[in-house]
Amino acid sequence: MKLIFEKSVKARDGYSLPKDLFDEVNTKDCIPEYAVSDSKKVLSEVSEVDVIRHFTKLSKFNYGVDDGLYPLGSCTMKYNPKVTEKLASLDNFIYAHPLAPEETVQGCLELMYDLNKLLCEVTGVDQYTMAPAAGAHGELTGVLIMRQHFVDHDDKRHKLLVPDSAHGTNPASATMGGFKMIELKSNERGTVDIRRLEELMDEDTAGLMLNDPNTVGLYDEGMQDIESIVHGKGGLLYYDGANLNASFEIVRPGDAGFDIVHLNLHKTFSTPHGGGGPGSGIIGVKEFLIPYLPTPIVAFDGEKYYFSDVGEKSIGRVRAFWGNFLVLIKSYAWILSMGPDGLRNVSETSVINANYVLAKLKKYYRPAYDRYCGHECVLTGRDYKKYGIKTLDIAKRLMDYGFHPPTIYFPHFEPYAEETIMVEPPESESKEVIDEFIDAMIKISNEAKTNPDLLTGAPHNTRIRRVDDVLAVKRPILNYGDELKLKDELKYKDEDINF
């Protein structure tokens, strides 16, 4: 497909303007000097029809949750209700300026204040900061709160425990927060090794970052022991809420002993994820950690809502203004629309969906852990190595059946999770759609045994076929010229890069 610049035709216009009736006005007098240029800009000369058709075609190349199942394990790629998008686009929200006087944005402040109360009730903590802009940003904020707590108590703890089943960015967040990251190996059941935790948790260790369910989709059966060990040594428990979709109204992290709770509103609370963002990785804490939250937070004096300075112990600002405010609106609307019973149904349905996939596919793809899972299940493709097939080949072949591939090669710790296929079918997916996915996976299993070339050459039906995984990120194929150049440089066959 040609670029919009390649469709340019000299002197073709996409619009026409009436004759300028203000001859006495010099345009340059109305525009700041830095915005004026004497050189002519090279723009595409195309009609409105050209533009509309070009970008409509481009939009059809994408795949998202509005197209079909997006079974990315550890990511909770659920459908986003359109009514929340509509509410977030109301004029009083989108035109609210972050520097506007507080008395002119009372509705916005009230919404943030109420959302905080709702989330505290859902998760069992006492106060949230809405500032963090995304998941890893929220993790860093939580870790900085931990560090500030110990600095305030003149406690020079410098280590932080992170399980090998943790969410992918936890190790980096711990390190960026100033701690030495210590990996905590899982036991043979895929959860925290209690004996190893007892050995590692000492007076130099700030605490433990933990997903529950973890990134293998398993609930930690020893949560009471974990809480006792960490708190018994004066440490803090940090909850990574990437997998909260399995716990709504079933268990509250705060009740389980977590001191800091991180939520991804762009995952669990049904706001657009990934390229449809932006994100919101908010952080909630128990009462004794409120003084260390980022400043400011929204408060209410009985008459008006206002931004309140957290105090001198605060870690300071982590982001300008209100955070990603429109994301907060969508989450607020979604929570109110679901109610307590609806939220519980979210988790129950997501857990049932994942266990249904596990039960149907474990005959064809051996489970990493053959036990009941939470909201996602982890299968393995390593048994197909004897046919010359990698898990990557299975994922690529799934694209030919019209599905986005699941997460593969993560989690990567061995020996229990080698060549993994992590599937998360969220609550928004029907049994019919999940059955179609299961049928495709079974067909691929049979193809791997009888016609492995179908997999090693996959995908066959997509606009761009398989390319070098590393180079594709650094050298994207944008037009036909790039295609020919890559073929020449890398000696690709014609079928390797196909338009």
pTM as predicted: 0.88
What is the C-alpha separation between 296 and 98, in angstroms, rounded? 13
pLDDT at site 417: 65
pLDDT at site 494: 44
Report the phi/psi class of residue 234: left, alpha or beta, with left for phi > 0 and alpha for psi in -120 to 50: left
pLDDT at site 483: 54
Q: Look-up: residue for tokens 């090669």?
A: 409
Q: For 392-413, how does the pLDDT look when each residue is reduced to its tens digit (9 = 90+)?
A: 999 999 999 999 999 997 776 6
Question: Cα–Cα distances in Å, from 356 out to 79, 242, 362, 367?
Answer: 19, 21, 10, 13
What is the C-alpha separation between 370 and 378, in angstroms, rounded? 9
Instruction: Decide if pLDDT at 35 tops 90.
Output: no
Instruction: Decide if pLDDT at 484 tops 90.
Output: no
For residues 36-55, give the mean pLDDT.
87
Instruction: Decide if pLDDT at 40 tops 90.
Output: no
Is pLDDT larger for residue 221 or for residue 310? 310
Q: For 114-137, how does the pLDDT look when each residue is reduced to its tens digit (9 = 90+)?
A: 999 999 999 999 999 999 998 899
| Joined tokens for residue 312 | 């001198």
| Joined tokens for residue 122 | 């859902």
Q: Mean pLDDT across the chain, nearest whole number? A: 90
| Joined tokens for residue 153 | 């108590």
Instruction: Decide if pLDDT at 113 tops 50.
Output: yes
Confidence of residue 2 (pLDDT cuts 50, 70, 90): confident
pLDDT at site 304: 97
Helices (H), 270-408: 325-361, 391-400
Helix (H) or strand (E) holding 127: strand 127-129
pLDDT at site 495: 44
Instruction: Decide if pLDDT at 492 tops 50.
Output: no
pLDDT at site 243: 92
If one counts every other C-beta atom within 10 angstroms of the C-beta of residue 53, the result is 13
Is pLDDT larger for residue 330 or for residue 74? 330
Cβ pair 153, 203 in contact under 8 A: no
Cβ pair 290, 309 in contact under 8 A: no
Cα 32 to chain centroid, rounded: 40
Confidence of residue 277 (pLDDT cuts 50, 70, 90): low
Is pLDDT larger for residue 176 or for residue 278? 176
What is the C-alpha separation between 106 and 147, in angstroms, rounded? 34
pLDDT at site 144: 98
Instruction: Decide if pLDDT at 104 tops 80.
Output: yes
Instruction: Decide if pLDDT at 493 tops 50.
Output: no
Instruction: Decide if pLDDT at 446 tops 70.
Output: yes
For residues 357-386, give the mean pLDDT.
94
Q: What angle do CA 337, 80, 307 make, to 5 degrees?
A: 65
Instruction: Decide if pLDDT at 497 tops 60.
Output: no
For residues 448-465, give the mean pLDDT.
92
What is the C-alpha separation between 77 and 416, in angstroms, rounded? 25
Q: For 210-235, how does the pLDDT look when each residue is reduced to its tens digit (9 = 90+)?
A: 999 998 899 998 999 999 999 999 99
Question: Cα–Cα distances in Å, from 245 out to 94, 251, 253, 338?
Answer: 28, 11, 12, 13
Strand order in the sheet with 407-408: 377-380, 420-423, 407-408
Cis peptide before 213 (omega within 30 of 0): yes
Residue 104, SS3 per DSSP? helix
Confidence of residue 320 (pLDDT cuts 50, 70, 90): confident
What is the C-alpha separation between 238 and 262, in angstroms, rounded? 8
If one counts every other C-beta atom within 10 angstroms of the C-beta of residue 497, the result is 20
For residues 247-274, give the mean pLDDT.
91
pLDDT at site 429: 94
- Partners of 299 in the beta sheet? 306
Architecture of the 83-338 domain: 3-Layer(aba) Sandwich (3.40)
pLDDT at site 499: 36
Domain positions in the chain: 4-59, 83-338, 350-496
For residues 452-475, give the mean pLDDT.
85
Helix (H) or strand (E) holding 162: strand 159-163
Instruction: Decide if pLDDT at 464 tops 70.
Output: yes
Instruction: Decide if pLDDT at 236 tops 50.
Output: yes
pLDDT at site 274: 63
Confidence of residue 498 (pLDDT cuts 50, 70, 90): very low
For residues 262-285, give the mean pLDDT.
85
What CATH code would you report for 350-496? 3.90.1150.10
| Joined tokens for residue 316 | 């300071």
Q: What percentage of the chain reaches a pLDDT higher than 90?
A: 69
